[in-house]
Chains A and B, each alone.
Chain A
Amino acid sequence: MERKRSCRKIELLAPAGDLYRCKTAIRFGADAVYIGGQQFSLRSRASNFTLQDIREACEFAREYGSRIHVTVNIIPHEEDYDGLAEYLKELEDAGVTAIIAASPAIMDIARKNAPGLEIHCSTQLSVTNAEAAAYLSDTLGIDRVVLARECTMDDVRAITASCPVETEAFIHGGMCVNYSGRCTLSNKMTLRDANRGGCAQSCRWYYHLYHNEEELTQEDLFTMGSKDLCAAEYIYDFIEAGVSSLKIEGRMKSEYYVASIVSAYRNLIDEIEETGTRLSEERMQYHLRQILRGENRQTYPGFYPGRAGRESLILHQNSDLDVNHDFLGVVKQYRDGVMTLECRNVISEQEMIEVLAPGKLQKEFPVEWIRDENQEYMSSCRKPMTRIQIPVPFEVHENDIIRRNYHDRRKDQR
């Protein structure tokens, strides 16, 4: 079979739980965004897109040269096929580029009813070798396979080298500790079906460990939570292996997370492509710092270095890092050197803040004064969603993000 290979540069694929975050991801540089409709998708609590939203997302994406992928990745029960064929046709008509699916039956229905949609095989199927991908390509006509998160970088290279379809690999975000699609801890403990979007993350709960009657539990109870993935340091490996898409997990994540993580990866990828040579260690560390600024959980590069062991797990209480503390607000308007900011956190006079804007270097400046909507001066704003005015020494744009500035903020999360 003729090998399908994308001629595009490596794709940065971002998550979005709603239309606003989808637009944020696109503005901040995502080449593609994956979203969930109100039916047929995992992460049911992050699947808020009506068909109208999806159409609007596609239109917005087109303006930026971006693409929309829609997850149709449930493991369907008998009653879950109602309306599916029609839904897939609507997605095709709306301009969706691809669906991400885990059920062969769903993929088959898509191929027959909406042939204009690319079919991306979900990580739920845990594809771990090229022969499996080739089989699914031959039998279902898939266009891309999302590799299992248990693949090492050697595996990614080997699979991509002989895979007849594009490969997509996770580069950032939450990691399941168990093989995708094969974990029913949530089903068992809460009856919430992990394979239809209801995962309660029971792996992260706390357990006592026994050997027969003897308790082996240590000071901290046993838990199975995985550190989040951050594999930015493997960016060259992904590119050289020929991986087509780098996936950021996180449809449940906030707009700030989406903006900061997407922006940071965008800047990293763009600098690599513009430079043409390997970035210096200093530049790589700069980009890693920017990426980790958006993180509030401990991270690890997953299985990419090799079989993930103790260091890949959260064995104690979750990190007390609170990166969301950095997020101060969203620019709503700029005129004559003054921005109107929709405040999301406490912001005070004389504080050093910075602008996170798509495709631009962060610029910092002090808060010289703050005015409320009645033009009354205030020393600080403490009420989220309040609109305030702050002078800015350079132009900013609607939907730019404002955050605290920490030049030397370092995160040793590994």
Chain B
Amino acid sequence: MKLVVSVNHTEEIRPCLENGADEVILAVHGHSFTALKKTAPGDLPDNERVGLLVNQLYFPSEMDSMHKLLDEIGNRSFSSVYFADPAVAAYVRNKSLCRKLIYRPDTLVTSSKDAGWWMNRGISGVTVSPLLTLEEIRKIVGHQKHLELIIHGYTLVSASRRKLVQAYLNRNVDETDGLSIREESRDSHMPVYETEEGTLVYSDQIQQSFAYVREFAESGVDRLYIEGVFMGTEELLDTVHLYRTILEKDHPETELDEYKNKYKHRNLGEGYYGEKTIL
């Protein structure tokens, strides 16, 4: 089992590893759709405990760029490569890089059968949708190994190829941080991030798994993922440290209370763990 965390800057790699992460994920500029802060391909560090987020959906004119990146990555020592486009799996199908692939299609894997189908392609793992109840997660994990669960962070709610805020304001959006929307009948804000790739909207709540992460680890989940989007370095390190403590210490209540007190201004919740979606 690995505790994995996505970071916003290469400077956060070493502190996260020192605070308890087993692996750190960097988003690659031009190849990561659902990340706010990205690293240029030329600046990727060689590190066996660094994985890459390459979850772009590629259009025809971008295929050469994808091939080039995958060729470069294949010659280096990264631990894992997250992908969402089946074309990535196609390109590395008979290459060693295939064994480092983790399928991360946001919401599309909600059953052990779908996860199992992807695992049978020779890849390393599959990220299960964060929209599942605890019961659903337990069932899937009971039937399929090599899964990853997103245990902490803002959940991506929607991803558009259109620049929605720019369209609405009818000007370029210079505000890269701090944008949010609030539905007119609700009080909570959903963070928004807009880039050249489009518009991302995140949940109003940070999903946390303090009460369940040990159960997940003991049930055979391969990877427990902390999403670092919208987190400053201090919060990121505190979060990694807390989960490491929960995983290794029988009674982490003190550390947990300290964390909750320090971050009481954050809207922490349990996401969909206790709420099943309906039709």
Residues of A within 8 A of B (CB): 44, 75-78, 80-81, 102-105, 108, 124-132, 134-136, 139, 148, 150-152, 154-155, 158-159, 177-179, 181-185, 187-189, 191-193, 195-198, 202-203, 205-212, 216, 218, 221-224, 226, 303, 307-310, 312-313, 315
Question: Which of B110, B112, B139, B180 counts the most A-chain CB atoms under 10 A from its CB?
Answer: B110
Residues of A within 8 A of B132 (CB): 77
Residue of B57, B131, B204 near A187 (CB, 8 A) is B131
Tell me whether chain B's interface is mostly helix, strand or loop, or mixed. Answer: mixed
B179 to A210, Cβ gap below 8 A?
Answer: yes
Q: List, sorted by A's number, 11 A–B pairs whose CB atoms are closer than 8 Å.
A: A75-B110, A104-B114, A126-B57, A131-B87, A191-B276, A193-B277, A208-B181, A210-B180, A210-B189, A310-B166, A310-B170
B108 to A181, Cβ gap below 8 A?
Answer: yes
Given the known A-B contacts A126-B57, A188-B203, A216-B169, are A103 and B181 also in contact in the complex, defined by CB atoms under 8 Å?
Answer: no
Interface residues of B in 93-133 (CB under 8 A from A): 93, 105-108, 110-114, 116-118, 121, 129, 131-132
Give min CB distance, A310 to chain B, whole Å: 4
B117 to A313, Cβ gap below 8 A?
Answer: no
Given the known A-B contacts A78-B140, A203-B158, are A184 and B107 also in contact in the complex, defined by CB atoms under 8 Å?
Answer: yes
Q: Indicate if B69 sits at the interface (CB-CB under 8 A).
A: no
Count, A-B residue pairs, CB within 8 A? 217
A191 to B275, Cβ gap below 8 A?
Answer: yes
B182 to A210, Cβ gap below 8 A?
Answer: yes
A139 to B167, Cβ gap below 8 A?
Answer: no
Residue of B86, B91, B167, B180 near A313 (CB, 8 A) is B167
Q: How many residues of B contact A (CB 8 A)?
A: 71
A313 to B139, Cβ gap below 8 A?
Answer: no
CB-nearest residue of chain A to B114: A105
A135 to B86, Cβ gap below 8 A?
Answer: yes
Q: Indicate if B211 sits at the interface (CB-CB under 8 A).
A: no
Residues of B within 8 A of A (CB): 57-63, 85-87, 89-91, 93, 105-108, 110-114, 116-118, 121, 129, 131-132, 136, 139-140, 143, 155-170, 175, 178-184, 186, 189-190, 192, 201, 203-204, 272, 275-279
Residue of B61, B114, B131 near A103 (CB, 8 A) is B114
Residues of A within 8 A of B203 (CB): 188
B114 to A131, Cβ gap below 8 A?
Answer: no
Q: A135-B89, A184-B107 are in contact. List 12 more A-B contacts (CB 8 A).
A: A80-B111, A104-B114, A129-B62, A188-B157, A193-B277, A195-B107, A208-B184, A209-B165, A209-B168, A209-B192, A307-B162, A309-B162
Give min CB distance, A224 to chain B, whole Å: 5
Residue of B62, B108, B118, B143 near A75 (CB, 8 A) is B108
Residues of A within 8 A of B279 (CB): 44, 192-193, 196-198
Alpha-carbon distance A212/B156, docked complex (angstroms): 19
Question: Which of B112, B169, B183 counts the most A-chain CB atoms under 10 A from its CB?
Answer: B183
Residues of A within 8 A of B169 (CB): 209, 216, 218
B85 to A207, Cβ gap below 8 A?
Answer: no
